[in-house]
Chains A and B, each alone.
Chain A
Amino acid sequence: MNILLNDNFDLKTYITNGGYNALKKSFTLKPEEIIEEVKKSGLRGRGGAGFPTGLKWSFIPKTKTQKYIVCNSDESEPGTFKDREIIHKNPHSIIEGMIIAGYAIGATKGYFYIRGEFAREARIIEKSIYEAKEAGYLGKNILKSGFDFDITVVRGAGAYICGEETALLESIEGKQGKPRIKPPFPAVKGLYGCPTVINNVETLASVPYIVIYGGENYSKIGVEKSSGTKLFSVSGPVKKPGVYEIPLGLSFKTFFYDWLGGMKEGEELKAVIPGGSSVPVITAEEAMNTKLDYESLQKIGTMLGSGGMIIIPKSQCMVELLYVLARFYHHESCGQCTPCREGSGWIEKTLNKILNYKAKKQDLDLIVDISNNMMGRTICPLADALAMPVISFVQKFREEFESHIEGNCKICGK
């Protein structure tokens, strides 16, 4: 069953399929009631952190000040391409979700922050906003509710770090995307110093369903602590890569064989990164024995993250892959705080040596040590996002690294 990936390319189709009914219903409810429904639904942030959405909304003070709702469409986590899918297929669900969220927290202004490379997707959203405005779903006194709401699209310009909430706010404000020190949290002091909620595209797109059918019904989908549906964007040598909407709690085995069709001809499964490059890697065996929900994945030492699933075949050298990842995080580090700025470059340099058979014996323990020294000591979790893959790759595929250090690799052909 699809809550998110429904083909509602334009406003007409969206309305035919029940679009903007949730907004109409929202205006018959009190803002607190809507927050209650979202809390009941168990909806968790779909961008990667998995923070309970209703709880996040409830942190906004009830005072009558300027507040903002921000949609995080920065989608730059390697392996993740699900928000783009919603924008192509069902753009109005995001907009409706945003307006409802605005109404629930008392925000009259929304910002749609979209990564700079998604130029085409930004145009789709602009068009959708225009359509919604023309139809009276945006602007002043929406549907005679007395509620004003407007959305401005803001484009990024090539910085993964702007997916972090406070770096995103800095970027909207026209500055370098450097994360802020927390506390204060955005709910207290966010965009332009005002209370702000930042939600992922998928999170907001899930809101209309929750309002129409009620939080309790949403919570019946999925499993206890991971309710609802989740988009998984799958890449790697499977027969059917792409974006899938699954009920949380689905076993990986079922997903892999029934939905993805298994590996391509000639490839064997070696490892899986279940939720975007920032989560620890798991072996094929671990994957086959787990379910796709927040708790199950956490139990085996990884995370659901963004749902950006990367399938790794036996024909892919793990050393090479980790090097590609380290290079990414080094490139994307904002450079603000010491451990991440210096550590990311150090890890990339050392992995480059290991990859090219120029490393010393202690270099393998070195990169794990650097990772441990970076973790938990920085302003934002980018350092952890590099550290965790490094630690997990070395832990689970140590032989491949040791092989490179000894000067050979069967997979790379040396």
Chain B
Amino acid sequence: MLSEKIKQNLKNIISKYEKKESAIISILHEIQKEKNYIEDSDISELAKLTELPYSKIKAVLTFYTMFNSKKVGKYHIQICRNISCHMAGAKKIEKYISEKLGIREGEVTKDLLFSYSTVECLGSCGTAPVIMINETYYENVDEKKIDEIIEKLKVAK
């Protein structure tokens, strides 16, 4: 279900673009920001409201990896697994996060706060290992830093 806020904002977002279709990625970002993932019913609703084919919107949703089709944790940790982060110990970081939170890739913690996935190069290789939580970068992470970050997030509003 799309929220009223999103539905009202649609015209606004679409007006930024030269063609209606070009607004799709931006709209999907908005939906995800609000409810942290995008359901199939959201796509159907969006198709009706924008009068764009469902197939075109769904094709975009499934092509770009930043979009979540399944519910993720309130804080979705994305661990870079590419070459420089790998050399800097990304696998150890992943193992640590997995054991600390008691979940595997794709799973969500029982309190619905955390989930993680491994992602490709985040474009900050000089400060490897790098993780991204929702849309915030955390660079030069080690086990101690991860402890701090997770503790902070647990008590955050």
Contacts and interface: CB of A to CB of B under 8 A. Distances in A.
Do chains A and B make direct contact within the complex (CB under 8 angstroms)? yes
A285 interface: no
B83 A120 contact: no
Contacts of A120: 135-137
Interface string B57-78: 0011001111100000000000
Contacts of A119: 135-136
Contact of A156 (B25, B81, B122, B135): B25
Given A77-B121, A241-B126, A171 B82 contact: no
Interface stretch (B3-11, B13-21, B101-109, B148-156): B13-21
Given A117-B66, A156-B25, A158-B67, A325 B83 contact: yes
Given A81-B123, A120-B136, A172 B22 contact: yes
Contacts of A116: 29, 64, 66
A291 B151 CA distance: 47
A160 interface: yes
B84 A78 contact: yes
B64 A84 contact: no
A75 interface: yes
Nearest to A80: B123
B84 A79 contact: yes
B65 to A, nearest CB: 4
Contacts of B16: 152
B49 interface: no
Nearest to B33: A119
Interface in A152-193: 152, 154-160, 171-177, 192
A157 B87 contact: no
Interface in A300-355: 308, 310, 312-313, 316, 320-321, 324-325, 327-328, 331-332, 334
Interface string B120-151: 11111111100010011100000000000000
B23 interface: yes
Contacts of A157: 25, 28-29, 64-67
Q: How large is the interface on B (under 10, 10 to 19, 20 to 34, 35 or more residues)?
A: 35 or more
A234 interface: yes
A131 B126 CA distance: 30
Contacts of B65: 157-159, 331
Interface in B82-116: 82-84, 86-87
B46 interface: no
A75 B17 CA distance: 23
Given A157-B66, A236-B84, A308 B125 contact: yes
B48 interface: no
Contact of B128 (A77, A115, A235, A325): A235
Interface string A231-269: 001111100011100000000000000000000000000
A237 to B, nearest CB: 7
A80 B125 CA distance: 7
A117 B123 CA distance: 9
A76 interface: yes
Nearest to B83: A78
B19 A176 contact: no
Contacts of B22: 172-174
Contacts of A77: 121
Interface of B: 16-19, 21-26, 28-29, 56, 59-60, 63-67, 81-84, 86-87, 119-128, 132, 135-137
Given A78-B83, A116-B66, A324-B81, 9 more contacts: A76-B120, A117-B66, A155-B25, A156-B66, A173-B21, A174-B21, A176-B60, A235-B126, A236-B87
17 contacts: A77-B121, A78-B120, A79-B125, A81-B123, A81-B126, A116-B64, A117-B122, A117-B135, A120-B136, A173-B21, A174-B17, A174-B23, A177-B64, A233-B125, A241-B126, A324-B86, A328-B82
